[in-house]
Amino acid sequence: MDFTFSEDELLFRETIHRFLATEASPETLRDIWSGDTDASTLLSLIAEQGLSALSVPEEQGGLAMGDVAWSLMTQELGYHAIPDVFANSAYVATGLLTALDDSVSQKAELLERICAGDLGFAIGHSCSPLVADADSADTLLLQHADELHLLGAADVQTVPNPSIDFSRRLAQVSWNANPETCIVSGEAGGKIWNDTFNRGSISVAGQLLGLAQRMLDLSVEYSQQRKQFGKEIGSFQAVKHQLADVAGKIEIAKPVLYRAACSLENHHPLSDMHISQARNFCSDAAALAARAGIQVHGAMGYTWEVDLQMYVKRAWALNNTWGDSIMHRARVQDYVLNSDIDHAPSNTFEAV
């Protein structure tokens, strides 16, 4: 029993944090949000660091990083509000492609492309009518019942649907499912889509937790500077207690996220439930961080002027991405109440 990260994993996180703090500053994000630039410059910088290769298997030249280490990475992606396409390509799509049977002819080539820095992957799952980055992707992995279809940009029509998170590029996708584009079907397809959904969900969970921490940090900083009644507003208990509650939601969510990541990596029979549980805790943290953050910022919190707004809106958007919050709550509730499981204290780590 060892519920900790290795020194290497923690050092890796520290390195990523420093890199993204420089390259994905709020000013950079603001340029992307305002449409002055697209995310491609930032994504190229990230790819140049070799980060696209993190979870690509060693056979294709990658680092084969597992879900446990990714639970640190996704928190950093959330903290720095890195646009969707990176996590969806380098983590979720990579996981999907890695799970394909070696007999799928495109598998090795696609993984090699990701390893080399191609972050142009979009994934369409039945949990949402919208596909992130579908209109700029060069490769689309789309669900049709249990089937997995692989399509190129030319094979689909997209209709952009703008989001309140201006860094998101959501689109409806029209396409025709035919035998030539289908690369997996039946039970194998169902399993791949279930795993992909779980990986997408936990990716969002980590990002929500990172976003919560960012919103808390911004709110703490603001309440240390802003003065009313002759003193910093952070000295008032009414402000302190709101932010302490955010810190509480963040701290309790961490171990839930890490256990879910460990379950996913090790194919634990309760992975589905553990991941939804992580989503619930991370969602709660992000939702409270957003609400308290706006409140602590006062009228400034209701403006486009403060950096807080980008992280708040991204948290709201991600809350219902890769499974909406109702679905994740229902999945845990169904396990807790409707199974015939005896929830003994000794069963926390058992595959009951």
Partner 1 sequence: MKLQFSPEQDAFRLEVRQWLAANVPKQKLPTYDTKEGFELHRQWEQKLFEAGFSMVMWPKEYGGRGCDLIDWLIFEEEYYGAGAPGRVNQNGQLLLGSTLLDFGTPEQKAHFLPRMASSEDMWAQAWSEPNAGSDMANISSKATLDGDHYIINGQKTWSTRAIYADWAFGLFRSQPGSERHHGLSFLLVPLNTDGVTIRPIKALDGEEAFAEIFFDDVKVPITNRIGDDGKGWHVAMATAGFERGLLLRSPARFQQPARRLVQLYRDNKAAADRDPAIAVAVSKCWSDAEAYALSAYNTVGRVNNGEKIGAESSLNKIFWSELDLLISQTAMDILGATGELLGSATLAQEHAYWLDAFLFAQAGPIYAGTNEIQRNIVAERMLGLPKK
Q: Which stretch binds partner 1 (CB under 8 A): 35-43, 118-126, 277-285, 313-321?
A: 277-285
- Positive/negative CA dihedral, 107, 108, 114, 117: negative
Looking at residues 186 to 225 of the shown chain, list those that interact with partner 1 (rule: CB under 8 A).
216, 220, 223-224
Contact between 2 and partner 1 per CB under 8 A:
yes
**Smaller CB distance to partner 1: residue 89 or 271?**
271
Separation of alpha carbons 233 and 222, rounded Å: 9
Structure tokens at 281: 């805790």
End-to-end CA distance of the chain: 18
- With contacts defined by CB under 8 A, how many residues of the chain interact with partner 1? 48
Residues 319-338 that bind partner 1 (CB under 8 A): 329, 332-333, 336-337
Least distance (Å) between residue 312 CB and partner 1: 19
Candidates 122, 132, 173, 262: give the one binding partner 1 (CB under 8 A): 262
Place of tokens 């229902």: 330
Query: Which of 140, 239, 292, 315 forms a contact with partner 1 (CB under 8 A)?
Result: 239
Residues numbered 47 to 76 that lie near partner 1 (CB under 8 A) are 68
CB-count exposure of residue 162 (10 Å: 0-12, 13-18, 19+):
exposed
Q: Using the 8-state DSSP alphabet, how is residue 166 labeled? A: T
Burial of 105 (0-12, 13-18, 19+ CB in 10 A): exposed
Using rule CB under 8 A, residue 282 touches partner 1: no
Sign of CA dihedral 73, 76, 81, 82: negative
Tell me if 342 contacts partner 1 by CB under 8 A: yes
Site for partner 1 contains 231 (CB under 8 A): yes
Which of 281, 282, 322, 328 is in the footprint of partner 1 by CB under 8 A?
A: 281
CA R_g for the chain? 20
User: How far apart, in whole angstroms, are the C-alpha atoms of residue 49 and residue 205?
Assistant: 24
Residues that bind partner 1 (CB under 8 A): 1-5, 68, 216, 220, 223-224, 231-232, 234-235, 237, 239-241, 243-245, 247-248, 251-256, 258-259, 262-263, 277, 280-281, 329, 332-333, 336-337, 342-346, 348-349
